[in-house]
Structure 1
């Protein structure tokens, strides 16, 4: 996703960002913090679980010829995420075709179609899609999270490879989700004479650990009972083909416009999914028959990846009594980039540098005697997107940047933005999708309040 080629129309972008909503809170802590005036303890995340298949279509990003942009096979629950610019003189459209190459009928359920209008302002497209992805109703039928393929790499980067525990399936179990954290608390006071205050703190820590686990298990139980979202169902016979996401036919991509969207679905068997760019008036299914396959550009951001959704967590809780801390994500260390293959180029190995199209679910257990404020701090360059924060049963979506700024973090690693303030002791949950056109990594700052 190239930043420098964007042709900014500053006034239009200012207006668009003003209308996205304001994230300020009256009487809240400072809207920004001076990262150079504080020492932040790094709290490494660990990639614990992932699920679903991602077909990523972003190469070629700048399309100067009609044809197939990306394709891949999904058997189960999957997602298509596309991000393309029309560099042709005439209006174009994106088309998505599903094909059954097997010898059995394949049942398809379409769960969600998320899209924003094409626009020359790349940050508008990326940030609006990231908010739509958070707000568009979606309950996946797949509740079977799997151990992440790069779990060991993540734990190793976090310095925890020899200390983590795994369940029967091989998924890492956070210490706060079993008895490990409580055992550590008990061991720390074993044989010691505790004051009244120390005893109270000890009991509070054990109660917090029970509450973290209850809160997590309660959330899992609720999610398992939700009815999956289905907006369309159909059957593909052997050899059958169908154009899906019909709304794409009504959204012309003008010259130099960026267009991006998400399709979530489930297939009862293997289904081959193609993403194409075609002239706006060309029937999608007919136009796909003789369409050429376009080569990847030098960025090589396309392919089929395992892990359209991923879970990250801290093994140990954030303790607000110990000072400021930072949790970094999408850094290709503790949080590795997803890896896959491009079925259009003889299964060439590919890496999604930025994890675009991947839904994140980050859990941070918290403890300590101080309230803490949550900030975002982009580290890779300009960022504009949205984040859903849930704490103690309350959920809020925050737009970055708030107000009339174009983006956060352009040419600096010192930009921050305030989200909210919380009383320590609960699970902090942050959900987002890396915003298109934006840069990674980012980190979340947790700052105790006196």
Structure 2
């Protein structure tokens, strides 16, 4: 008898004896004792297709602790772009971090800003990461255009210039923009009392720090679908984000003239598709394995003939972070019916750690595991 059948046999015996709680043996999927058993239960890896990366990501996280104002990072880009910045002011003056575009063309160009989100400056790195993620997935941005003059500058996301950052405060934000022609896009830390357009023309470039976590990357969005439909008979299984089957983006730091690796895939939005078949409930869990994690994810699916179900889930909901020095930490996310096609969206925020796993557990297996947890209690 294999391990899975053994667990099911034990649970069946407990049900016959009335040992499980509830009239129908109902199990709470969020019970910490049950989750503690789930995360250690034998499970298989869900085979995934090759990911499809689209768009351009400018990631600005070096120097992470700038000690003076200046240009943090910049590159010439076009098309569908995202700027993700993450910096803590270590200068002795109040500053702003802005995103600036320079148009090298002989005619004005309209940049289409599709979103600008930021978290309130704070000394709490996990609070900033989670808040920014929540702003991104709950935000309802109005698309607007910014006219960038010929051979001139313009701010992308003017609200950023109104956020004052004191020494020791972290500021992080996301600007999504469509550029119809190539422009130079830069992140700049500006003294609060100075005009950012006048300041950028001083051309003060800041050197990267020892971590060198910045650069330009192909792949601001990663579409990643399961190779086969998952069925309850497959037993507990997982999708692992980060690690050997999920590569980090490799790009270029043009200011340092070197290759750059986005270790952590910060600022990359994952769009994971999981098709399911069969009958019965499926329970979805989140399991960080790379260290502390604080963020948000979106779960969408169609439930029968109803409209699309969309849920925003904090990771974690009742604490600042999850997974500190504990690879077995677990969070219940949602339950849906087999036969549902589920889409997961999330973006690893600054200070969060990969790899993480999304674990799917059929209800029958959960009952078996819960029976074991009940016996051990």
Q: What TM-score, normalized to structure 1?
A: 0.71
**In 1, Cα distance between the equivalents of 2:47 and 2:204?**
45
**Partner residue of 1:435?**
349
Which sections of structure 1, spanning at least 5 residues, go unmatched? 1-25, 139-228
**Partner residue of 1:364?**
274
**In 2, Cα distance between the equivalents of 1:318 and 1:254?**
50
The 5 Å alignment of 1:216-295 reads 230-231=143-144, 233-295=145-207
**In 2, Cα distance between the equivalents of 1:311 and 1:47?**
9
Match of 2:160, SS?
Answer: helix
**Partner residue of 2:135?**
132
Partners of 2:39 and 2:330 within 8 A in 1: no
Match of 1:318, SS?
Answer: coil
**Gap change, CA 1:37 and 1:355, over 3 Å in 2:** closer
**Partner residue of 1:62?**
65
**Partner residue of 1:5?**
none
Partners of 2:64 and 2:87 within 8 A in 1: yes
Query: How many angstroms does 1:102 deviate by?
Result: 3.1
Query: How many angstroms does 1:103 deviate by?
Result: 3.8
Query: How many angstroms does 1:330 deviate by?
Result: 2.5
Among 103, 106, 119, the residue aligned to 2:122: 119
Query: Can you list the C-alpha shifts for 1:337-381, whole angstroms capped at 9, x where unaligned?
Result: 1111112123x2111111111111100111233311000000000
**In 1, Cα distance between the equivalents of 2:158 and 2:108?**
22
Q: Given the alignment of the two structures, is residue 378 of structure 1 paired with residue 292 of structure 2, yes or no? A: no
**In 2, Cα distance between the equivalents of 1:293 and 1:283?**
17
Among 48, 71, 74, the residue aligned to 1:71: 74
**Partner residue of 1:418?**
332
Match of 2:255, SS?
Answer: helix
Query: How many angstroms does 1:426 deviate by?
Result: 1.6
Query: How many angstroms does 1:334 deviate by?
Result: 2.0
The 5 Å alignment of 1:301-320 reads 301-320=213-232
Match of 1:340, SS?
Answer: strand
Runs of 4+ that moved beyond 6 A? none
Match of 2:56, SS?
Answer: strand
- Larger relative CO (CA 8 A, sep 6+): 1 or 2? 1
**Partner residue of 1:224?**
none
RMSD, matched Cα: 1.7
**Partner residue of 1:212?**
none
Query: How many angstroms does 1:36 deviate by?
Result: 5.3
Partners of 1:111 and 1:264 within 8 A in 2: yes
Which protein has the bigger strand share?
A: 2
The 5 Å alignment of 1:91-106 reads 91-106=94-109
Partners of 2:45 and 2:238 within 8 A in 1: yes
Match of 1:345, SS?
Answer: coil
**In 2, Cα distance between the equivalents of 1:79 and 1:352?**
14
Partners of 2:248 and 2:262 within 8 A in 1: yes
**In 2, Cα distance between the equivalents of 1:60 and 1:394?**
41
Which sections of structure 2, spanning at least 5 residues, go unmatched? 1-25, 303-307, 365-377
**Gap change, CA 1:247 and 1:236, over 3 Å in 2:** closer
Count of matched residue positions in the alignment of Structure 1 and Structure 2: 331
Partners of 2:190 and 2:199 within 8 A in 1: yes
Query: Can you list the C-alpha shifts for 1:369-409, whole angstroms capped at 9, x where unaligned?
Result: 33110000000001111110112121111101121x23111
**Gap change, CA 1:37 and 1:27, over 3 Å in 2:** closer
Q: Given the alignment of the two structures, is residue 401 of structure 1 paired with residue 316 of structure 2, yes or no? A: yes
Query: How many angstroms does 1:104 deviate by?
Result: 4.5
**Partner residue of 1:341?**
252
Q: What TM-score, normalized to structure 2?
A: 0.84
Query: Can you list the C-alpha shifts for 1:132-165, whole angstroms capped at 9, x where unaligned?
Result: 1112236xxxxxxxxxxxxxxxxxxxxxxxxxxx
Query: How many angstroms does 1:27 deviate by?
Result: 7.8
**Partner residue of 2:3?**
none
